[in-house]
Amino acid sequence: QEIAPARDAIFLGRGINYPLALEAALKLKEISYIHADGYAAGELKHGPIALIDQDMPVIVFDNLGPLQEKTVSNAAEVAARGAKLWHIGSKATDGIMTPDCAALATPFAYAVVAQLLAYHVALAKGTDVDQPRNLAKSVTVE
């Protein structure tokens, strides 16, 4: 509900969760028509941080293991700028909590959450999730 009115959104992932940030942004774009971008959390200070304000939802895929502290630090920088911040992970206290899993399995656990997030945002906006506009089931490239 809180993400639905947004015009833009940012997904942050680090390490193995960076491709997930890209995929989550794509899913949100495709079915809710919100401009969303995925970024490597370590690149936050190289551009994306300039876009962050109190109207920007930022979804952070939490890391487990050695990258966890760096991801938490990136999230703190986002929060300091007043963004609407959600964490997705097994330690999430201000977002969506997932079951505990091995660090290498987090993209699989978080992918389902990202898909459901996009789905529920699209429903809240009233978009047709079964037939998104301008999308084809398959594309032929010549």
Q: Crossing angle of helices 106-125/18-32, nearest 10°?
A: 20
Q: Which CATH class name applies to 8-125? A: alpha beta
Tens of pLDDT, residue by residue, the chain (142 residues): 789 999 999 999 999 999 999 999 999 999 999 999 999 998 988 888 888 999 999 999 988 878 888 888 888 888 899 889 998 987 777 788 888 888 889 999 999 999 999 999 999 999 999 888 887 766 778 7
Sequence ranges of the domains in the chain: 8-125
CA 39 vs CA 21, 80, 135, 142: distances in Å = 6, 18, 23, 30
Instruction: Report the predicted TM-score, pTM, of the whole model to 2 decimal places.
Output: 0.90
Strand segments, DSSP code E, in 62-122 are 84-89, 95-97
* Sheet bearing 35-40, strands edge to edge: 35-40, 8-13, 57-61, 84-89, 95-97
Which residues have a Cβ under 8 Å from the Cβ of 55 and sit 6 or more positions away? 6, 7, 84
Catalytic annotation, residues: 137
